[in-house]
Structure 1
Amino acid sequence: MDHLKWAIFHAAKEGKLNQLKGILASKSSSQVRALTSGKVEGSTPLITASREGHLEVVQYLIVKCHADMHQRGSVVFDGETIEDAPPLWCAAAAGHFSIVKCLVQHKADPNCTTQTNSTPLRAACFDGHLGIVKYLLEHKADIEIANRHEHTCLMIACYKGHTEIVRTLLESGASVNRCSVKRNTALHDCAENGSVAIAKLLLRYGARTQQDGHGMTPLMTAAVAGHIQLTEYFSAIPETPKMERINAIELLGATFLDKRHDMTSAHQFWRRAITLRYVLIGKTLGSPLREAPTSHIPAYGNINEPKTISELEEVRSDPEKCRIIALLIRERVLGPKHPDTSYYIRYRGAVYADSGDFEKCVKLWMYALDMQRGNLEPLYPMTLSSLLSFAELFSFMQQHRSHMSSSVPKANHKQIMEVLKRAAWELLLGHDMLIKATNKDSGKCNQRVYRAMVIILHLTALSDNVLHDKSVTPEQLKESVNHRGFLLYQLRDVRDHCNRTLLHLASSSRACPLGRYPVTKFPSPAVADILLNCGFDPNVKDYEGKTPLHLAAETAGDDPKSSIATLNHLLESGGHIDMNDGKGKCILDITNKSLHPKINRTKHETLQCLASRVIMRHRLPYKEVIPTNMHQFVALH
């Protein structure tokens, strides 16, 4: 049956109608329904035929095979997998007008949705299929159904720059000032695209220039995107505050410098902004403009924004200062909470690293990390990305690779400890947030906790690697080890989405992938030993009833030497050799018998353990016979 499903699916995908008819001709109606509704590669014959534009196949499947019009499946568009996509959505997204008509005429729901709540109308708006948009609207497609982010059809049409579709949606009554989850409106999406024509349309239909969730107006959004004409258009609106116009011009300069590497245009924008500031306050060009507070930001080299034309001219020939000025402008105008602010600080740091100046890179990245931690919720994806970048950078430095014809310095133990400290506090806060999270948010939080745990393990391994360097004094070693122990001790009760501790992850090769320049492999006897010395329990179980010993035993076939060393560390720290997991297996049941001689069974298997196993194996009543404080010990066996 499976080979027939495969043949039918591929005949539908390739538009081979006669082949499809030949396969199904001799089948009963129930067999036909089963064969045409079965999924191959996550999709069905009707879905794939609708996606690929085979009208005759679609008609045959609907009329002769009575295929379900609302079946769901996976399809790929522009390299992205769309889950739970119905046939009508696929046809609309791909622009197959005739198939859209066929499906609607056979009672397909014009408001059917994908997993992300995207409708066929939204799919047509995305790719600019005007005819399909008009047809769906004529057949009762709901113009206001938004996706899971509350992003509407009008918003996506504006973002993609489809002017005529925007016009059609507005004429059909689309809500012009509706907000998404991030509080952006269609005018913000238009600003991202840069279309003056669409902006005029939206304003004609009553669009308001309000702020989004980051405090950005459409004018500021256009400036950040580098759209000069649209920035000028929004600036010319009489209601636009004069200071906002000046800030937009300054942002244009920062954008041209960082995104387009056009320093000449950046200076022209900044010069114009300074001139407008003088006009705004009614002072003569060149006179003292304002008493701007001095930044004194070490990460920026204590560089300040120029306040006069002469100060701007002084830095014109210094590209490095100009790039720092762009960062200062972005931080002042957008604020530290805006993602672009920390993004460009990190970008500038990465440029320094590429040129071999790792010290400046670390300073900028640390500044960006502190900015993110101070302004974003714990374990925010951007913060985790910054921590991961640090781990990768330190790993690269520690490997001491030749880079840009210069010798790469090894990672500094103080820098690693500073990042480890921030990662540990971030994980603690994130874990507390997870405990308080609703069921809806817990999955997202759990995955972030896991990512942070993996990063911390690699930072721990890096710290151990660096602290054994000859350049580290005994006093520095003692201080750093004590500091690291204090940080890790507080993470003993942190669990990931599988209820695993850091010790679980350190004991498994399958749980700790990270980055391009790993300096250690897991399971890691060294990291496990560090965690055990910090008070981690080797007998704590995850949701599958597995202890760190079980995870080490499971991966013994991948790396016997590290796994056995880790197992012995765990056993010497009080791990129970005969503790069963959720399937009733102990580590000796899991580990290859050829490795058993390397595990000192007699040293770690006590008489108490043997007695407990006999009690559990023969289901002997024990709770009324032995002390209460022994009940849990027996049950573990």
Structure 2
Amino acid sequence: MKSNVATRRSHTINLLTNLDIISNVSNDLMLECKLCSRATRLTKTLRDKITNLPKDARKEIVSRTRDSCAPLFVVCKRGNLGIAEFLITICGADIEQRGLFENPEDSTCHFVTPLWCASVSGELPVVKFLVRVGANINAVSDSGSSSIRSACFMTNMEIVEYLVEIGRADIKKPNFNGGTCLINSVQSVQLCSYLISKGADVNAKDIQNKTALHYAIQEHRLETTKLLLDSGADPFAKSKNGDDALQIACLKGAHDIFRHLIERIPYTKERLASANELIGSTYLDEHNETTLAVLHWKEAHEIRSKESVYLAKQPSVPFRLAYCNVTEFATLSELENISTDVDAMRIQSLLICERVLGINHTDTLFRLMFRGASYADSLRFQRCIDLWRLALEIRINTHSILHSDTCFTTQALVRLMLDLEYKSDDSESIIGSDVPKFDDVFGVFTLLHKNLIDARKLLQIRPVYRKQQENFDRVLKCVTHLIYLLEVTSKTAEEKQIVCETVRSLVRNNIRSACTNDTLLHLCVSRLNIIKSGYFNDGTGMRGIFPNLKVVKLLLDCDADVNAKNESRSTALHVASNPYNYVGEVVRVLLDYGAHLDQPNRAGEQPHYLIAFNSSNTIPIINYTSLKCIAASTIIKHGIHYKDEIPRTLEEFVQLHQP
């Protein structure tokens, strides 16, 4: 018996010793691999240690990772063929063991094989060795990108040729977004020519319906554009946004490609005129080149005037307040008058974009937002509000409030209004007190309000995407801030009546947040209810609006349920009683409207104790404690059976006091 115990103890000691040896050797190996250059060899001491270990121990050592990378992955990235051969042939390293590849070229991270890593790093000798020992050439990264596709992106010509010439690399295999080897190679005419000679499809489209020609043009690659067109690329193929080759050239200001296309392809007069107008708009908006813009607009006017009947600009753009109700120039004299007024030119540019691209086009909306931001920078805030309201309306009609772009626009617009309202209170501010206007605030509120209900229904459809839930909640926070703005901008009795009716309608629909099931009341008593926007510096000077007594009282006057519970079964009083949110007047008004002090949430917390132990509290909570509540809490605490023993209305009251 003693002999068996001693044997087991000896076996355990040996096992622990072996594990300690493996761990130490593994650490030494990883350190030398990370410090190696292409020609570095492992130290003789380390090689001997590894070689003298059993086969299973050697394999265990080379399988261990640090920073998500095994030793083989590290040396393949660094191009050390000698150590790679040792790790595979002597240690049995897994040639398909994936590691984390951080690409400094585009700041992306991917889990990939050693072959993928060596291909992107341009280490041809390592690539040849890995292929020779059986590495899977067509293995893809976590984004679906093969070794050869990623080598194309890095313009590693020799590696691309090697992977193709051995006959196994699939140059037509796209990644998960549809990006092909040819699309990834537009930066190199030589590489594109090689891929096309090997059968690459010049008209293959990615998930955005873009071809290699689209990418070549947007990167201003004239020679690649010529090659693709000579090889059969379709210049009329449209992306998901509806952009063909000529339109992309106009939007990107690719002047040389623009000239090549109109000289090579027989476009209609209308198309040529619109293209000149659009590229002129791009020069103005993107490069502030007023002279080039006017030259292209004049060229467009000449094209339209050369026909016996003037080529009218179609479709016509409706009068818009955001464009100051102006129309496009129709005569040369009108254009000359406009050319002396940069602001008038910028409005013309927006009109041109809407007519040529359509109001729903990504570039049209981007230019609306950008132009609005420029007006804000020059303190012309009403012009900014007008443009951003138009952009918001279009985004909602095109997508919904669940879309990230819609959410972004909403946050930018509401934050601008909040900042203006705050600055208008400053007596030294140069901003007039008439911005934001009640009509603007009410218009944005109404636009969001009528879409909240439909959006909330969409979130009930499975699967539910977290990003859409978060966007909904961000927009809902914007709505609570708009309620605040309605309260402070409404001056007349009629406006205040409109606010009450609109807020009551919103409350009646019981709109709640998607992630935590908070009501409007929950949101309006929390300091966490803030709006962030990429258009503003959110780190400094951002004023918190909530908790806000006026908004809370408005919601309660509009019949908000003071005892409604969120996902954690907390009422608004729970949230307001939290020390971080505590504002005595807000807590008092909730109690005055019937909030229960002793309702427990899911964690068993009661507002009664949160308020009582708050050092700044001055509310006599005994005045808000009823015998009815005490009785209900006692029933729950002692598990007293009450179903069918008390009136139904009292049963519901007791249930409110359950955690």
Normalising by structure 1, report the TM-score: 0.83
Report the counterpart of residue 338 of structure 1 in structure 2: 361
Task: Please point out which of 499, 511, 518 is paired with 2:517.
Answer: 499
Shift in Å at residue 391 of structure 1? 1.7
C-alpha contact (below 8 Å) 1:118/1:146 kept by paired residues = yes
Alpha-carbon distance in 2 for matches of 1:176, 1:112: 23
Report the counterpart of residue 476 of structure 2 in structure 1: 453
Alpha-carbon distance in 2 for matches of 1:98, 1:577: 74
1:309 aligns with 2:332: yes
Deviations 1:75-100 (A, max 9, x none): 35457342544444444334344444
**What are the within-5 Å matches in structure 2 for residues 174-185 of structure 1?**
174-185=200-211
Provide structure 2 residue ranges, at least 5 long, that are not aligned to the other structure: 1-19
Task: Please point out which of 176, 197, 200 is paired with 1:171.
Answer: 197
Deviations 1:369-407 (A, max 9, x none): 22333333443322222211112212322232899x971
| CA distance 1:7–1:391, shift in 2 (3 Å) | farther
**What are the within-5 Å matches in structure 2 for residues 120-159 of structure 1?**
120-137=147-164, 138=166, 140-158=168-186
Shift in Å at residue 598 of structure 1? 5.7
C-alpha contact (below 8 Å) 1:177/1:186 kept by paired residues = yes
Report the counterpart of residue 465 of structure 2 in structure 1: 442
- Residue 98 of structure 2 aligns to a residue whose secondary structure is coil
Report the counterpart of residue 196 of structure 1 in structure 2: 222
How many residue pairs get matched? 618
| CA distance 1:628–1:125, shift in 2 (3 Å) | farther
Report the counterpart of residue 142 of structure 2 in structure 1: 115
Alpha-carbon distance in 1 for matches of 2:525, 2:84: 53
Alpha-carbon distance in 2 for matches of 1:409, 1:23: 81
Alpha-carbon distance in 2 for matches of 1:513, 1:609: 37
| CA distance 1:316–1:493, shift in 2 (3 Å) | closer
C-alpha contact (below 8 Å) 2:145/2:174 kept by paired residues = yes
C-alpha contact (below 8 Å) 1:50/1:99 kept by paired residues = yes
| CA distance 1:150–1:538, shift in 2 (3 Å) | farther
Shift in Å at residue 341 of structure 1? 0.8
- Residue 532 of structure 2 aligns to a residue whose secondary structure is coil
1:369 aligns with 2:388: no
**What are the within-5 Å matches in structure 2 for residues 453-532 of structure 1?**
453-464=476-487, 466-467=488-489, 473-475=491-493, 478-486=496-504, 488-489=506-507, 492-510=510-528, 512-515=530-533, 516=538, 518-532=542-556
Equivalent position amino acid for 2:107 in 1? E
Alpha-carbon distance in 2 for matches of 1:395, 1:342: 23
Report the counterpart of residue 66 of structure 1 in structure 2: 93
- Residue 75 of structure 1 aligns to a residue whose secondary structure is strand
Alpha-carbon distance in 2 for matches of 1:500, 1:275: 60
What value does the CA root-mean-square deviation take over the aligned residues? 4.0
Report the counterpart of residue 392 of structure 1 in structure 2: 415
1:230 aligns with 2:248: no
Equivalent position amino acid for 1:187 in 2? L
Shift in Å at residue 413 of structure 1? 4.1
**What are the within-5 Å matches in structure 2 for residues 526-541 of structure 1?**
526-541=550-565
Task: Please point out which of 412, 416, 431 is paired with 2:441.
Answer: 416
| CA distance 1:386–1:310, shift in 2 (3 Å) | same
Alpha-carbon distance in 1 for matches of 2:67, 2:142: 17
Alpha-carbon distance in 2 for matches of 1:574, 1:522: 21
Report the counterpart of residue 219 of structure 1 in structure 2: 246
Alpha-carbon distance in 2 for matches of 1:29, 1:613: 68
Alpha-carbon distance in 1 for matches of 2:622, 2:138: 68
| CA distance 1:481–1:77, shift in 2 (3 Å) | same
- Residue 182 of structure 2 aligns to a residue whose secondary structure is helix
Report the counterpart of residue 232 of structure 2 in structure 1: 206
Shift in Å at residue 266 of structure 1? 0.9
Equivalent position amino acid for 2:457 in 1? D
Equivalent position amino acid for 1:93 in 2? V
Shift in Å at residue 331 of structure 1? 0.7
| CA distance 1:365–1:41, shift in 2 (3 Å) | same
- Residue 423 of structure 2 aligns to a residue whose secondary structure is coil
Name the stretch that deviates more: 88-97 or 333-342: 88-97
| CA distance 1:579–1:70, shift in 2 (3 Å) | farther
Deviations 1:556-612 (A, max 9, x none): 2xx3544x6555554544444444444444456778945596676545555555455
- Residue 109 of structure 2 aligns to a residue whose secondary structure is strand
Task: Please point out which of 115, 119, 122 is paired with 1:95.
Answer: 122
C-alpha contact (below 8 Å) 2:403/2:468 kept by paired residues = no
- Residue 399 of structure 1 aligns to a residue whose secondary structure is helix
Q: Which has the larger radius of gyration?
A: 2
- Residue 249 of structure 1 aligns to a residue whose secondary structure is helix
Deviations 1:283-313 (A, max 9, x none): 5xxxx66487585333222322222323322
Task: Please point out which of 279, 283, 296 is paired with 1:252.
Answer: 279
Shift in Å at residue 431 of structure 1? 2.1
Shift in Å at residue 452 of structure 1? 1.1
C-alpha contact (below 8 Å) 2:62/2:71 kept by paired residues = yes
Alpha-carbon distance in 2 for matches of 1:550, 1:44: 50
| CA distance 1:609–1:8, shift in 2 (3 Å) | farther
Shift in Å at residue 525 of structure 1? 4.8
Provide structure 1 residue ranges, at least 5 long, that are not aligned to the other structure: none
| CA distance 1:248–1:24, shift in 2 (3 Å) | farther
Deviations 1:167-222 (A, max 9, x none): 23222322222222322222222221222322233233332222222222111111
Normalising by structure 2, report the TM-score: 0.81
- Residue 459 of structure 2 aligns to a residue whose secondary structure is helix
Report the counterpart of residue 636 of structure 1 in structure 2: 658
